[in-house]
Structure 1
């Protein structure tokens, strides 16, 4: 079986999920070519698992000072280049196209009449009844046409009684020497704004990873770190809490290791607003709408979360993909959720309480 796997490169969440999938696909002997778009080629890091991957410009949102800048997003979008990349990508040799919200591979496959299976967090907002916030008509159209697919599997923290699969979490070996440090990852905020927020808390040490940090340094209880996947995962294992934007993958990783979460969603980005709303409803995170010192101080006094044993091995999903019968994903969802011990929370969508999925 030969697969083309398209991954959205904006941020690190999609790449993190793809690393877990790439390992499982390799272990099953599947031949996979990887395509990334949405980021400058030199900005990717720790990409060894993807072999000789390809990159395209794709489409991405421009953000400034923790907000989506829609004017700059439209201005910098090169639709002509996108169309040229789509037309140039030959997908004829592939048996299956996997997609994680990546437009070049999705549209190239559609033009060629190839089947696309979308495995992404974005899919939960188009095909399932889950909590959402700020999901406008325009957002729905973007979700529908950005990376079209014949079959979509949404990835989420809770199944909501729908055909949704759980996140797969790649963990470092547990570190015995835990610390009281706070891990900070807010790539959509300016580093100076993050430092201003943290400077008010002199009794705590913060470890800040940020793509704009070019050299490791430390001053006044704030350690600045350059992007490094291995170092980041080690800090995640040992820290006492995580401050982040409301991306999906990092929140998933923090929940898996039982770390309390303080989230500041990217302003103007409905997905992050919806993520923050969901985790707040489930009692799994605290949300601040701005870089709020008072909210930070209150959150620092909270205890850690109960860890959720999300799976680390997507082998059942890979086996399902290899088998080739995609007509009824319900059995796959049941198999993936059954061993997960979820906290006792009341899940609702709108005014309706969610019925649990039947796990047999």
Structure 2
């Protein structure tokens, strides 16, 4: 079986999910070819598992000071390049096309009349789940950015809908944590402002990760470049994370029992909705602006949620090999019945 798999590379969440899928696809002996779009080719890192992947510009969202700018997004778009990349992508030799909200692959398959399987968090928004911050532009982006014929949506809870749990690695639960260690991943915020807000909390050690780290003059604030291994090591034994409201990092944090403080991007419906879901489920705290008082309250709250999710990547690979039968209510219920949610004190 040969699969062409397109992955949105603007943020690291889609790539993290693709790493887990790649491992299970390779284990099943499936020949899979990956394409990544949404960032410059030299900005990808720790990509060895993708075995000679390809990349192209694609489409991405312009962010500035924690907010999506649709005007700059439109101005930065290169439609001629996008159409050229789409038309030059030959999918004729593949048995299945998968898109993790990646537009070049999705639209190339559509133009070549190849059915597309969409796998990702965005496809959960085709169902009745917590949804806030919506507007006509956001609705159109969600519908047409990377259309799929069959969409497998992922979320932290089923909300009574035919969606699946997150695709994440399932590491063993940390045996101990460092209570004052906090991982910070706010790549769309002004890093100097982040450091300024965290500087008064000297009883905590903050480990910041960003695409372009800035120097820190504070001993309790360490600034790191993006690194999959380094980030995972710090995440493993920290007590909590402060991050934007992306889906994948929150999923990993819940799997490891970390407390969460999420700051959604302004004007980004998906992140605003994720924040609403975290609050509704009681899985995390939210600040809609960078707020030192909210940070201080959260730092001294020792409540966290630990969720054990099954290996959804393995479930999906088997489902694909079985011919992708309809995911009926019994299938969905069987998957979610293995999920365990525990309220814990750190």
> Shorter-chain TM-score category?
over 0.9
1:160-185 deviation per Cα after TM superposition (whole angstroms, max 9, x unaligned): 11110101221556554521211100
1:317–1:332: 8 Å Cα contact kept in structure 2? no
1:233-267 deviation per Cα after TM superposition (whole angstroms, max 9, x unaligned): 11111001110000000000111111111111011
In 1, distance between residues paired with 2:311 and 2:252? 10
Give the aligned partner of residue 138 of structure 1.
137
1:264–1:290: 8 Å Cα contact kept in structure 2? yes
In 1, distance between residues paired with 2:43 and 2:214? 12
1:219-246 deviation per Cα after TM superposition (whole angstroms, max 9, x unaligned): 3310111111111111111001110000
Change in Cα spacing, 1:7 to 1:42, as seen in structure 2 (3 Å) is same
In 2, distance between residues paired with 1:307 and 1:94? 39
In 1, distance between residues paired with 2:218 and 2:249? 25
Q: Secondary structure at the match of 1:249?
A: helix
Q: Secondary structure at the match of 2:325?
A: coil
Shift, 1:306, TM fit: 2.7
Q: Which moved more, 1:99-108 or 1:334-343?
A: 334-343
In 2, distance between residues paired with 1:327 and 1:231? 40
Q: Secondary structure at the match of 2:339?
A: coil
Structure 2 counterparts to residues 138-287 of structure 1, below 5 A: 138-171=137-170, 176=175, 178-179=177-178, 180-213=180-213, 219-287=218-286
In 1, distance between residues paired with 2:210 and 2:282? 27
Change in Cα spacing, 1:160 to 1:136, as seen in structure 2 (3 Å) is same
Give the aligned partner of residue 355 of structure 1.
none
Q: Which moved more, 1:192-201 or 1:170-179?
A: 170-179
Give the aligned partner of residue 42 of structure 1.
42
In 1, distance between residues paired with 2:148 and 2:330? 21
1:73-124 deviation per Cα after TM superposition (whole angstroms, max 9, x unaligned): 1111001110000000000000000110000010110111111000111111
Give the aligned partner of residue 77 of structure 2.
77
Q: Which moved more, 1:103-112 or 1:299-308?
A: 299-308
In 1, distance between residues paired with 2:321 and 2:147? 21
2:191–2:214: 8 Å Cα contact kept in structure 1? no
1:7–1:34: 8 Å Cα contact kept in structure 2? yes
Instruction: Tell me the C-alpha RMSD between the 2 structures.
Output: 1.7
In 2, distance between residues paired with 1:80 and 1:202? 51
In 2, distance between residues paired with 1:343 and 1:123? 27
Give the aligned partner of residue 323 of structure 2.
324
In 1, distance between residues paired with 2:21 and 2:172? 19
Change in Cα spacing, 1:28 to 1:281, as seen in structure 2 (3 Å) is same
1:256-291 deviation per Cα after TM superposition (whole angstroms, max 9, x unaligned): 111111111011111100000110111111111111
Give the aligned partner of residue 112 of structure 1.
112
1:286–1:299: 8 Å Cα contact kept in structure 2? yes
1:115–1:150: 8 Å Cα contact kept in structure 2? yes
In 1, distance between residues paired with 2:223 and 2:255? 24
2:123–2:153: 8 Å Cα contact kept in structure 1? yes
Q: Which moved more, 1:247-256 or 1:67-76?
A: 67-76
Q: Which moved more, 1:219-228 or 1:21-30?
A: 219-228
Give the aligned partner of residue 91 of structure 2.
91
In 2, distance between residues paired with 1:160 and 1:35? 32
1:112-155 deviation per Cα after TM superposition (whole angstroms, max 9, x unaligned): 11110001111111x21001101222222211111111100100
Q: Which moved more, 1:288-297 or 1:311-320?
A: 311-320
In 1, distance between residues paired with 2:224 and 2:129? 35
Unaligned runs of 5+ in 2: none
Q: Secondary structure at the match of 1:142?
A: helix
Give the aligned partner of residue 129 of structure 1.
128
Q: Secondary structure at the match of 1:55?
A: strand
